[in-house]
Structure 1
Amino acid sequence: MNISGDDFYALISDMLQRRGTETLQRTLYRGLREAILNGRMLAESRLPGSRIIAEQLGISRNTVNAALEQLTLEGFLHRNRQGTRVAHVGHRDSVQPAQVLEVKLAQRVARLPAPTSRAMPVPAFTPGTPAIHYFPLPLWRRLYDRVLREEGSALLGYGDPAGERSLRSAIARHLALSRGIECDASQIVITEGALEGVNLCTQLLSETGDIAWIEDPGYAGAKSAFAKSGLTMVGMPVDEEGMRLETEGEHSPTLIFTSPSHQFPYGSVLSIHRRFALLEFARQHNAWIIEDDYDSEFRYSGEPVPAMMGMQKNAPVVYLGTFSKTLFPSLRIGFMVMPKALANAAQPAIGSLLRGGHRAEQRTLALFIEEGHYARHLAAMRRLYRKRYKQLRDALHAELHVPHRVLAGEGGMHLTVAIDGIDDKAVARQASQYQMAPAALSGYYLDEQQGQTGLVLGYGNTPASQFAPGIRRLQTLIMQSRGEKG
């Protein structure tokens, strides 16, 4: 043994006296294990017999044997008829205490966009957050209790990987009425939010190294999904007619990501001639369009803009929707709709890629839709957001005196304010000190250094009473970022 018998017993005795709520067996096990790991007991050192250890420490032999057996099981000791010896456990403390392990993330992960703030309570102007305090929680609780009462433990298994049939059927009926998409439950897959839908598209439809076209600026989640899948991203500029196709000199894409009904973050609507041009381009080049329809339910003038998927029969479009924006974020239920041929081909893979789950929540949401509560909630939120949209525009006009342009679109839950010559990321960071979370517009570009600067202001979960004082504070921060006095 590397330490004397007296030192060995003194070490263990001291640990036994300071063991607190631990059992004697656990304390003895831990003391011997630490002595082996820190080198105080070298490999091939022989331990006294269990009877001698028990007598010296004043504990039962069964306790000693139990600790020694556990250490033997884990490979720290060897026990046989010749006695108990310390095993060779490899290098211990091979790194000096002052040294720190250098951690290098994979390049595709290191390049992911900065995460969006998820603070609670939700700060003012946080983009993408609905008015969660207006959600009819008592009604939801009653429906949830009803599902559990009627289904019980039958819902505790994994379920269909594609999601609960009742929810997929309810979504199909809703889409036919509201978005002009004719589909059935077999074409729908329930996802954990829209981002999982993007991930599924990359897994099903692309290979590492393929090209993906994205709106620039555009949804950071799509950039994250494509980056971690090893796709090469090419940015397509955005103007008042939505994504502008610039195909000269570029290799053909495998995936094309767009939010045609309400572009994020500019708010523009993809014009009809660009929609048809995009559909034709995708057909000619065997590309798939991923249509992100994240908040088209909230349009404040005219008729709802039809979905691209419903414009042509068998269009090369995968449609993504989410309930995180229309109901509440923590619900984490989204869905993807595939053309019939793709749905049939993907069915075996869905079972390998997904496991199902959240069955009670999905059944509850199905009831919420089928009984008309979803349509009523959407109508109420549309009225609320239309009012807040106008109030925020009025506050910007009255309180924001630096030169700016409001990029809105007639819908959604955010306004984008383009402001030249500011450090929008610094303004966003400083705003967090005042319980505000506007997003920096430049952060949504592929090349943040070359992007338009400004702020993306969410108003879905921000009361109108906070608009004017919030804009005044942002005005001060913007001027400070320019070195001007407020």
Structure 2
Amino acid sequence: MKELVFNVDRNSTLPMYQQVYRYIKAQIISGKIAENSKLPSVRQLAELLQVSRNTTQLGYEQLQAEGYIRSEFKKGYYVQASILELLSISKTTPHTKASSKNIVNPTIDFQAGAVDGINFPLVKWRNLSNKVLKDNLIYQYGENQGDLLLRESLAKYLFQSRGVRATSDQIVIGSTTQQLLTILSILLKKEHTQIAVEDPGYNGARELFSLQSYSVVPIPVNEDGIDITHLEKCNARLVYVTPSHQFPLGITMPINERYNLIEWAEKVNGYIIEDDYDSEFRYKQQPIPSLQSLTNSEHIIYLGTFSKALLPSIRLSYLVLPKEILIRYHQIASLLQQTASTLHQRTIHHFIEKGHWYAHLRKMKTIYKQKMKVLCDTIQMHFKDTVKIIGGSSGIYIVIEVVTKQSEKWLVKEALKNGVKVYPCSPFYMENFPSYPTIQLGFAGLEELEIRKGIEKLADAWLNIE
């Protein structure tokens, strides 16, 4: 496929896998590669570009994580049709065509869901995967609840790292947070018609419960996380929260509020869905214990994922169910096929047991801490009091509040004109919108030089404009 042949710059500060990712992405966006087109294999592309397979593999995985391509089992990689439909923003009218000349393909993408793929221990992962491929397990359908060995490893890891008390039987493995929330919505539906959610909060969760015919009740978020006083005033007995790293504001719920939230659940005989999102990456203090670790209460459902610490394409999340909900799960478990890769499940088990997981987390925490510092320092240098940084002590993204008369939409558009893609926070709000526009900036997938350059471009785009 000649459209994929280009000169990889081996002297560039931009990693080669990022060059591959960006080039293919640009070809897809421009329409030079048609929808549903089959892409060369990892090996073929590596030979075409004269780079390592590791480079092309990481490039493909980033494209897949962002939805530009899809992987079909035993067939290979294909361009995702739905992406091209979304990208074909109006070639229909002269007005649209004229305005599109001002929009350039972003050279720096502050995507919150991206990770640092260049530091992923691919050799160790591949060796463990090859070991698993020699096991007869790979030729069988996996357990609906998830691989038993992984559940046993997870039970030990969660207790050591987050204080979560769970047996392997209480753990349910799935591919994504959304898939596991779908299962929960089915298990809880008989006795719950309402669910309280953080406002702002993770829109993927609230939209999923809404699709399952739940009435979604927005609860304001204050400096301590979800406002429990407001929660107590609503009729919901089910709440979805992100107490360790509130999405999207990055707030950590203090210990006294955690006990207050647990007390609320016990009082109303309800459930807390604790999404321990981004809890691995804290840079200024030790993590506060999970809600589940603070009590013997059967009112907490614990939810976690590996995707932010590994690679988005290794799609694997997990639930820890209290006993009553576990009974309901086993009643319908035969209807719930496992969606997580059996190969990935067993590979992660070995990855944990051999100590690679802990070493990887330590390494990435150091790398992300430095990237966070570079991002915050560069913002403060260029914007000073014009921008307020929110959530700058944990996670792999920050939120900035921009003191301006301009709209959030204008900020996003002007950034894109300058070759930078940033993300609006308005989709995360239901009612309690902030006074100034807020923007989400992910940094994990960018090099330090890209972070600095990106913020400089934002300053050029946003400052000194009435």
Q: TM-score range by the shorter chain?
A: 0.7 to 0.9
Q: For residues 170 and 475 of structure 1, do their structure 2 counterparts lie closer, same or farther at Cα, with a shift above 3 Å needed?
A: same
1:125 aligns with 2:110: yes
Q: What amino acid is the match of 2:325?
A: L
Counting only pairs closer than 5 Å after superposition, residues 418-437 of structure 1 correspond to structure 2 as: 418-420=401-403, 421-437=405-421
1:465 aligns with 2:443: no
Residue in 1 that maps onto 2:130:
145
Per-residue Cα deviation, 1:333-384 (whole angstroms, up to 9, x for no partner): 0001112332233212232133455111111111001110000000000000
**Cα displacement (A) at 1:394:** 0.4
Contact 2:106 2:420 in 1 (8 A): no
Q: Measure the CA separation in 1 of the matches of 2:297 and 2:460.
A: 52
**Cα displacement (A) at 1:431:** 3.1
Counting only pairs closer than 5 Å after superposition, residues 17-32 of structure 1 correspond to structure 2 as: none
Larger displacement relative to structure 2 (321-330 or 440-449): 440-449
1:453 aligns with 2:437: yes
Percentage identity across paired residues of the two chains: 30
1:287 aligns with 2:304: no
**Cα displacement (A) at 1:238:** 1.4
Per-residue Cα deviation, 1:198-255 (whole angstroms, up to 9, x for no partner): 2222111125982211111111211221221121212111122111123389442132
Counting only pairs closer than 5 Å after superposition, residues 162-201 of structure 1 correspond to structure 2 as: 162-201=145-184
What secondary structure sits across from 1:237 in the alignment? strand
Per-residue Cα deviation, 1:56-113 (whole angstroms, up to 9, x for no partner): xxxxxxxxxxxxxxxxxxxxxxxxxxxxxxxxxxxxxxxxxxxxxxxxxxxxxxxxxx
- Structure 1 runs (4+) greater than 6 angstroms displaced: 448-451
Contact 1:254 1:288 in 2 (8 A): yes
Counting only pairs closer than 5 Å after superposition, residues 21-420 of structure 1 correspond to structure 2 as: 123-149=108-134, 151-152=135-136, 154-206=137-189, 210-247=193-230, 250-355=233-338, 358-401=341-384, 403-420=386-403
Q: What amino acid is the match of 1:428?
A: V
Q: For residues 437 and 426 of structure 1, do their structure 2 counterparts lie closer, same or farther at Cα, with a shift above 3 Å needed?
A: same
Contact 2:173 2:318 in 1 (8 A): yes
Q: Measure the CA separation in 2 of the matches of 1:203 and 1:429.
A: 40
Q: For residues 435 and 160 of structure 1, do their structure 2 counterparts lie closer, same or farther at Cα, with a shift above 3 Å needed?
A: farther
**Cα displacement (A) at 1:476:** 3.4
Q: For residues 171 and 143 of structure 1, do their structure 2 counterparts lie closer, same or farther at Cα, with a shift above 3 Å needed?
A: same
Per-residue Cα deviation, 1:418-439 (whole angstroms, up to 9, x for no partner): 1244322342244345553322
Q: What amino acid is the match of 1:446?
A: M
Q: Measure the CA separation in 2 of the matches of 1:418 and 1:466.
A: 21
Query: Where does the alignment leave 5 or more consecutive residues of structure 1 unmatched?
Result: 1-119
Q: For residues 250 and 363 of structure 1, do their structure 2 counterparts lie closer, same or farther at Cα, with a shift above 3 Å needed?
A: same
TM-score (normalised: structure 2)? 0.73
Work out the number of aligned pairs and report it: 361
Contact 1:208 1:229 in 2 (8 A): no
**Cα displacement (A) at 1:415:** 1.1
Contact 1:442 1:448 in 2 (8 A): no
Q: What amino acid is the match of 1:161?
A: N
Q: Measure the CA separation in 2 of the matches of 1:475 and 1:122.
A: 16
Q: Measure the CA separation in 2 of the matches of 1:251 and 1:415.
A: 30
What secondary structure sits across from 1:171 in the alignment? helix
Contact 1:440 1:456 in 2 (8 A): yes
Instruction: Report the aligned-residue RMSD.
Output: 2.4
**Cα displacement (A) at 1:275:** 1.1
Q: For residues 160 and 302 of structure 1, do their structure 2 counterparts lie closer, same or farther at Cα, with a shift above 3 Å needed?
A: same
Q: What amino acid is the match of 2:228?
A: L
Q: Measure the CA separation in 2 of the matches of 1:349 and 1:184.
A: 20
Q: For residues 249 and 311 of structure 1, do their structure 2 counterparts lie closer, same or farther at Cα, with a shift above 3 Å needed?
A: closer
Query: Where does the alignment leave 5 or more consecutive residues of structure 2 unmatched?
Result: 1-104
